[in-house]
């Protein structure tokens, strides 16, 4: 078997081992070292069993990841998210938005989507957003007479918006992988993110208008006075919105790098939690621990994937895939559709981190050949990865929600509720295909 086919075997074995449940990062490292030992084996140079260049490559990759300035923003944004999550403002946020939109058809569902968008943007942690909103908003909507499928779909879809709308950790990771400016990538993802959130809300309002029984209006006696609603908005929505806009605005206006803005955002989240009297020593310890654990996972994923990718490319696997794709004589649009279809299929068994770090780099070297902007490709990938949380039977958002949902809400109800929102993700991708200026315009507007 020639080296390129050994590289393909390496990739296939990795997918099989991951599906068996082995840890992603350590599987990447083990396979990279194992196949790399074969790839770099030189009997003339070898004096001891460890005298192989794969070990030098592994050490070099580890140092490169740990000293990568772009990735400094990851633990800071994670810490900001975990602190905000523990500030106990989601219930206030949901209630205040719900009352402010009470005259809109499906006001609770619209409020849940808005809360998910704001909260997931602040945290970027899909599981945390879906779980918290499942505990808070789902029982409230069910008690108000909302359709179970609609209520479940709203929370599952809204909770995934944090990996698309800046400041997104996923976009930081893609920027490091694709070697593009994270600031420009944030600007490129801004309009598509709001487009998808708007499509979700338009769908909910339309369905509630056509069939009011799906989302009954709140009784007038439950609506608080205007002054109370304004006070609730000022004390719940405004502080968190100011924190997010300050971080994002500082990045887009060129005042601060993503790492600097994330540092300021972390400080702002601590001040916000203290102002709500929701920060204790125990909660701070939990936030620090979760930040360290998740950051370590991301860093070791990078180390493993870079080692794996280096060996894969050295054996000729990357060249073999490129030759196979180029032999198809695809147009740029056809190449984009093929790449996005493969990423969509990978979203069933894998999470976004593995797809971005391991499989997206296979497509990146081909972008120049097809004349595709890596910023545009990154936004398409970010939109596509919404489906990895929403596509049955491996829709992780559904399982997050099922874990905290009342017994009456069955998993099949959640799957059925997700499907219209999954269709809206594909519609948003089609809109972006037709109007690429939605992604490519803002970077030019902000940065020239």
The residues, ordered by sequence, that sit 6+ positions from 58 with a Cβ below 8 Å of its Cβ are: 29, 32, 33, 36, 303, 307
Number of other residues whose CB lies within 10 A of the CB of residue 63: 11
Taking each helix axis from N to C terminus, what angle separates 281-314 and 317-326, rounded to the nearest 10 degrees?
70
Report pLDDT for 85. Answer: 74
Report pLDDT for 1. Answer: 61
Report pLDDT for 207. Answer: 93
- The whole-angstrom separation of Cα 205 and Cα 316 is 52
- The whole-angstrom separation of Cα 443 and Cα 352 is 24
Report pLDDT for 438. Answer: 93
* Residue indicated by tokens 């599906």: 19
Report pLDDT for 191. Answer: 92
Report pLDDT for 377. Answer: 94
Report pLDDT for 224. Answer: 67
Report pLDDT for 202. Answer: 94
User: 283: helix, coil or strand?
Assistant: helix
- The whole-angstrom separation of Cα 30 and Cα 51 is 17
Report pLDDT for 421. Answer: 94
Report pLDDT for 379. Answer: 93
**pLDDT tens, per residue, the chain with 448 residues:** 678 888 888 888 888 887 787 888 888 889 989 999 888 887 766 667 777 888 888 888 888 888 777 778 888 888 887 887 777 777 777 877 877 777 788 888 898 888 888 877 776 677 778 887 888 888 888 888 899 999 999 999 988 888 888 878 888 889 888 888 888 998 999 899 989 999 999 999 999 999 988 888 776 656 667 677 777 777 777 788 888 888 888 887 878 888 888 888 888 888 888 888 877 888 888 889 988 888 888 888 888 888 888 888 888 888 888 888 888 888 888 999 999 998 888 887 777 777 888 888 888 889 998 999 999 999 999 999 888 888 877 778 888 888 888 888 888 899 999 999 999 999 999 999 999 999 999 999 888 7
- The whole-angstrom separation of Cα 332 and Cα 334 is 5
Burial readout 109-132 (b: 16 or more C-beta within 10 A, e: otherwise): bbbbbbbbbbbbbbbbbbebbbbb
Report pLDDT for 295. Answer: 84
- The whole-angstrom separation of Cα 277 and Cα 297 is 31
Q: How many residues appear in the chain?
A: 448
Report pLDDT for 422. Answer: 92
Assess contact for 429 and 329: CB atoms under 8 A.
no
Assess contact for 208 and 214: CB atoms under 8 A.
yes
* pTM of this structure: 0.83
């Amino acid at each position: 078997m020639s080296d390129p086919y050994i590289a393909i075997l390496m990739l296939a074995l990795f997918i099989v081992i991951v599906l068996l449940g082995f840890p992603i990062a350590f599987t990447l490292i083990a396979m990279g070292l194992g196949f790399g030992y074969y790839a770099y084996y030189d009997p003339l140079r070898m004096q001891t069993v460890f005298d192989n260049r794969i070990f030098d490559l592994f050490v070099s990759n580890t140092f490169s990841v740990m000293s990568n300035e772009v990735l400094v923003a990851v633990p800071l944004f994670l810490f900001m998210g975990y602190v905000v999550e523990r500030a106990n403002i989601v219930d206030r946020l949901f209630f205040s938005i719900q009352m402010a939109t009470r005259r809109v058809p499906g006001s609770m569902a619209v409020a849940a989507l808005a809360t998910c968008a704001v909260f997931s943007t602040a945290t970027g942690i899909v599981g945390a957003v879906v779980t918290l909103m499942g505990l808070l908003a789902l029982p409230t909507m069910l008690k108000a007479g909302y359709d179970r499928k609609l209520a479940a779909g709203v929370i599952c879809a809204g909770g995934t918006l944090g990996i698309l709308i800046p400041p997104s950790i996923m976009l930081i990771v893609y920027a490091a992988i694709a070697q593009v400016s994270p600031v420009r990538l944030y600007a490129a993802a801004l309009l598509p993110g709001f487009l998808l959130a708007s499509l979700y809300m338009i769908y909910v309002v339309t369905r509630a208008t056509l069939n009011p029984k799906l989302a009954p209006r709140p009784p007038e006696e439950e609506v608080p006075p205007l002054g109370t609603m304004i006070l609730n908005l000022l004390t719940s929505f405004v502080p968190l919105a100011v924190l997010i806009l300050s971080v994002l605005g500082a990045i887009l206006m060129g005042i601060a790098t993503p790492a600097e803005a994330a540092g300021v955002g972390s400080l702002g989240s601590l001040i916000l939690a203290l102002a709500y009297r929701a920060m204790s020593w125990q909660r701070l310890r939990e936030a620090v621990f979760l930040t360290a654990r998740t950051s370590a996972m991301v860093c070791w994923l990078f180390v493993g994937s870079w080692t794996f990718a280096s060996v894969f490319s050295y054996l000729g696997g990357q060249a073999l895939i490129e030759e196979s794709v180029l032999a198809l004589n695809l147009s740029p649009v056809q190449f984009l559709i093929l790449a996005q279809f493969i990423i969509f299929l990978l979203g069933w068994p894998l999470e976004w981190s593995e797809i971005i770090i391991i499989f997206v780099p296979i497509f990146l070297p081909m972008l120049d050949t097809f004349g595709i902007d890596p910023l545009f490709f990154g936004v398409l990938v970010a939109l596509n990865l919404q489906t990895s949380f929403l596509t049955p039977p491996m829709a992780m958002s559904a399982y997050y929600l099922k874990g905290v949902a009342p017994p009456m809400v069955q998993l099949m109800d959640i799957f059925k509720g997700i499907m219209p929102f999954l269709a809206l993700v594909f519609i948003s991708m089609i809109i972006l295909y037709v109007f690429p200026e939605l992604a490519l315009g803002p970077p030019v507007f902000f940065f020239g």
